[in-house]
């Protein structure tokens, strides 16, 4: 299912690119990466740590955190072909045994192939902070989550092996003020599955993770689905026309949402604000139908003119962002 994998990968790649500024959050993030992506190899009395990471983006992120927090560097990095999935991954080896022992002890990670163990006291203390809760969930998503392509279903799941860790994840998702997301739980002999099949939870989790591109892609997919469903009930348009109408409306609504949240919102006149609200509330309607709903009623041409003015202001907003970057 390449499309499903692609959506999961896109979310995770966005997360890996996000900066982690606080040391406490870096420790929490690295703890989960090591716990869920690394293994200990003991040969001839020496101990090495091997990480399996899916891309060079991950390699760079984890490498920088290890260097900063423990002054550890990867000794070797191998690109390996996964015959099962058909994709590639990167195997990273750490052989600085003394430094490795220090960070494993600090993070309470045992050398017995990371046997089940609770997070250390310093990690649990960090999890009292909302910023560290966010870093914790992001690192769990990077290593343990799967998102189905929303074109098919609004389904995500997090696979955990340890009941205590699963409970920590579930409690943070439910109680964090910026998330408040309830997941279902499914247990079997070797895995604990936290999952949800609702759009609201899918949307809320992406917003909490701060993956803006994936979030807006999800919103656009929902709009297109709604427009197609509503249009198909009333009129038997050709498929190409339906797609075109849906895409245009989705782009307009995505643009309006971004604009209303930006520092350019003050540039909107009352008439443009009303136009923005009218379009967002009626994504499936044509310009003529929107004109009939306007108060007072205006012409189709006036509706189009106001949408074009909104687009002009949005382009100004985009230009300022590009200059800032």
Owning domain of residue 155: 2-207
Confidence category of residue 43, pLDDT binned at 50, 70, 90: confident
Could you tell me if 217 and 125 lie in one domain?
no
Could you tell me if 44 and 88 lie in one domain?
yes
Please answer whether residues 128 and 176 qualify as being in contact, where contact means their C-beta atoms are separated by less than 8 angstroms: no
- DSSP, collapsed to helix, strand or coil, labels residue 270 as helix
Residue of 121, 2, 100 lying closest to 51 (CA atoms): 100
Comparing 325 with 55, the larger pLDDT belongs to 55
Mark which of 207, 235, 263 sits at the end of a domain: 207
Could you tell me if 61 and 164 lie in one domain?
yes
Q: What is the mean pLDDT of residues 249-278?
A: 87
User: Does residue 225 register a pLDDT over 60?
Assistant: yes
Could you tell me if 268 and 134 lie in one domain?
no
Span 146-176, pLDDT tens digits: 999 999 999 999 999 888 899 999 999 999 8
Span 114-147, pLDDT tens digits: 556 778 888 899 999 999 999 999 999 999 999 9
Please answer whether residues 65 and 26 qualify as being in contact, where contact means their C-beta atoms are separated by less than 8 angstroms: yes
Mark which of 185, 207, 229 sits at the end of a domain: 207
319 Cβ contact partners less than 8 Å away, ≥ 6 residues apart: none
- DSSP, collapsed to helix, strand or coil, labels residue 127 as coil
Q: In whole numbers, what is the pLDDT of the chain averaged over residues? A: 85
Could you tell me if 25 and 93 lie in one domain?
yes
Could you tell me if 91 and 20 lie in one domain?
yes
User: Does residue 113 register a pLDDT over 70?
Assistant: no
Please answer whether residues 128 and 158 qualify as being in contact, where contact means their C-beta atoms are separated by less than 8 angstroms: no
Could you tell me if 260 and 275 lie in one domain?
yes
Number of domains, the chain: 2
d(CA 268, CA 259): 9
Could you tell me if 181 and 313 lie in one domain?
no
Residue of 197, 297, 191, 313 lying closest to 260 (CA atoms): 313
Could you tell me if 28 and 41 lie in one domain?
yes
From 145-149, 151-155, 182-186, 255-259, the region with the lowest mean pLDDT: 255-259
Could you tell me if 152 and 284 lie in one domain?
no
User: Does residue 323 register a pLDDT over 90?
Assistant: no
Tokens of 283: 């994504």
The separation between CA 31 and the C-alpha centre of its own chain, rounded to angstroms, equals 19
Could you tell me if 252 and 181 lie in one domain?
no
Residue of 158, 164, 212, 163 lying closest to 181 (CA atoms): 158
Q: What is the pTM of this model?
A: 0.69
Mark which of 207, 224, 239 sits at the end of a domain: 207
Could you tell me if 148 and 197 lie in one domain?
yes
CATH number at residue 152: 3.10.28.10
């Amino acid at each position: 299912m390449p499309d499903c994998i692609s959506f999961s990968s896109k979310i995770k790649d966005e997360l890996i690119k996000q900066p982690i500024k606080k040391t406490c959050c870096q420790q929490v993030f690295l703890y989960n990466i090591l716990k869920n992506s690394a293994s200990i190899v003991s040969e001839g009395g020496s101990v090495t740590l091997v990480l399996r990471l899916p891309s060079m983006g991950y390699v760079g992120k984890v490498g920088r955190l290890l260097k900063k927090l423990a002054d550890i560097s990867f000794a070797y990095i191998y690109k390996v072909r996964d015959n099962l999935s058909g994709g590639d991954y990167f195997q990273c080896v750490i052989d600085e045994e003394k430094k490795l022992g220090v960070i494993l002890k600090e993070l309470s990670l045992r050398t017995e192939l990371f046997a089940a163990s609770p997070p250390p006291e310093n990690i649990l203390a960090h999890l009292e902070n909302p910023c560290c809760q966010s870093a914790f969930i992001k690192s769990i998503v990077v290593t343990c989550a799967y998102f189905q392509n929303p074109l098919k279903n609004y389904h995500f799941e997090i696979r955990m092996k340890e009941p205590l860790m699963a409970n920590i994840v579930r409690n943070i998702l439910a109680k964090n003020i910026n998330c408040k997301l309830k997941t279902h739980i499914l247990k079997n002999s070797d895995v604990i599955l936290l999952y949800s099949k609702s759009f609201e939870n899918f949307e809320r989790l992406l917003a909490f993770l701060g993956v803006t591109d994936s979030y807006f892609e999800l919103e656009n997919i929902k709009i297109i689905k709604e427009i197609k469903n509503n249009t198909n009930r009333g009129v038997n348009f050709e498929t190409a026309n339906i797609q075109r109408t849906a895409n245009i409306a989705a782009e307009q609504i995505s643009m309006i949402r971004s604009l209303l949240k930006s520092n350019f919102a003050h540039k909107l006149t009352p008439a443009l604000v009303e136009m923005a609200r009218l379009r967002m509330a009626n994504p499936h309607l044509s310009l003529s139908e929107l004109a009939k709903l306007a108060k007072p009623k205006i012409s189709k041409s006036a509706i189009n003119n106001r949408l074009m003015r909104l687009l002009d202001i949005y382009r100004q907003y985009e230009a300022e962002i590009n200059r800032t970057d």
